[in-house]
Amino acid sequence: MPKPNHHIFADGELSRNEGTLRIDTLEGKTEYLPIESVDSLYLHGQLDFNTRALGLLNEHNVPLHVFGWKDYYRGTYLPKRGQVSGNTVVEQVRAYDDPARRLRIGQSIIEASIHNMRGNIRYYDGRRGKFSNTVTKLEELKQSVSTTTDINELRSVEGNARKKYYECFDQILRDPFTLTRREYNPPTNEANAGISFLNGMVYTTCVSAIRKTALDPTIGFVHEPGERRFTLSLDIADIFKPILADRLLFRLVNRQQLSINDFEDELNGCLLNENGRMIVLEEFEEMLDETIDHPRLNRKVSFKTLVQTDVYSLKKHILTDEPYHATARWW
Partner 1 sequence: MNRTTQRPGGGEMQVIVVYDVPAERTHIFRKLLRRRLEHLQQSVFFGKLTDGQVTAMKNEIEDKLEPNDSVVIFESTNPAAFNFTTYGSSEEPGSRFT
Partner 2 sequence: MVQYYHVCKRELWFMSRGIDIDRETTNIQRGTHIDDTSYQNARKSFMIDNRIQLDVLDSGDVMEVKVSSTLEKPARMQLLFYLWYLREIHGVERDGVLAYPTERKRESITLDNSATDQVESTVGGILDVVSRDQPPELEKKPYCDSCLYQDLCWM
State which of residues 122, 174, 182, 316 lies at the interface with partner 2 (CB under 8 A): 316
Site string (50-89) toward partner 2, x via CB under 8 A? -----------x---------------------x-x-xx-
Buried b (16+ CB within 10 A) or exposed e, 20-54: ebbbbbeeeeeeebebeebbbbbbbbebebeeebb
Query: Residue 5's binding partner, choosing from partner 2, partner 1, none, with beta-carbon cut-off 5 to 8 A by kind?
Result: partner 1
Site membership for partner 1, residue 26 (CB under 8 A)? no
Distance CA 197, CA 246 (A): 11
Site membership for partner 2, residue 319 (CB under 8 A)? yes
Footprint on residues 167-226 left by partner 2 (CB under 8 A) = 212-214
Footprint on residues 280-299 left by partner 1 (CB under 8 A) = 281-282, 285, 299
The distance of closest approach from Cβ of residue 33 to partner 1 in the complex, given in angstroms and rounded to an integer, is 8
State which of residues 18, 51, 228, 268 lies at the interface with partner 1 (CB under 8 A): 18
Distances in Å between the Cα of 121 and the Cα atoms of 10, 112, 194, 237, 269 are 38, 14, 18, 19, 27
Instruction: Compare residues 37 and 146 and give the one whose CB is closer to partner 2.
Output: 37
Beta strands in the chain (DSSP E): 6-8, 12-17, 20-25, 30-33, 41-43, 47-48, 64-67, 73-77, 263-266, 269-272, 291-294, 299-302
Distance CA 283, CA 53 (A): 29
Q: Are 300 and 289 in contact (CB under 8 A)?
A: no
Distance CA 118, CA 123 (A): 8
Terminal C-alpha separation, the chain: 19
Buried b (16+ CB within 10 A) or exposed e, 238-253: bbbbbbbbbbbbbebb
Site membership for partner 1, residue 5 (CB under 8 A)? yes
Report the relative pairing of strands 12-17 and 6-8 from DSSP bridges.
Answer: unpaired
The distance of closest approach from Cβ of residue 13 to partner 1 in the complex, given in angstroms and rounded to an integer, is 12
The distance of closest approach from Cβ of residue 45 to partner 1 in the complex, given in angstroms and rounded to an integer, is 9
Query: Residue 310's binding partner, choosing from partner 1, partner 2, none, with beta-carbon cut-off 5 to 8 A by kind?
Result: partner 2
Q: Are 271 and 38 in contact (CB under 8 A)?
A: no
Query: Residue 285's binding partner, choosing from partner 1, partner 2, none, with beta-carbon cut-off 5 to 8 A by kind?
Result: partner 1
Query: Residue 99's binding partner, choosing from partner 1, partner 2, none, with beta-carbon cut-off 5 to 8 A by kind?
Result: none
State which of residues 1, 84, 90, 260 lies at the interface with partner 1 (CB under 8 A): 1
The distance of closest approach from Cβ of residue 300 to partner 1 in the complex, given in angstroms and rounded to an integer, is 8
Number of residues that bind partner 2 (CB under 8 A): 26
Which 8-state DSSP code applies to residue 26? T
Q: Which residues would be at the binding site for partner 1 (CB under 8 A)?
A: 1-2, 4-10, 18-20, 23, 25, 31-37, 278, 281-282, 285, 299, 301-302, 305
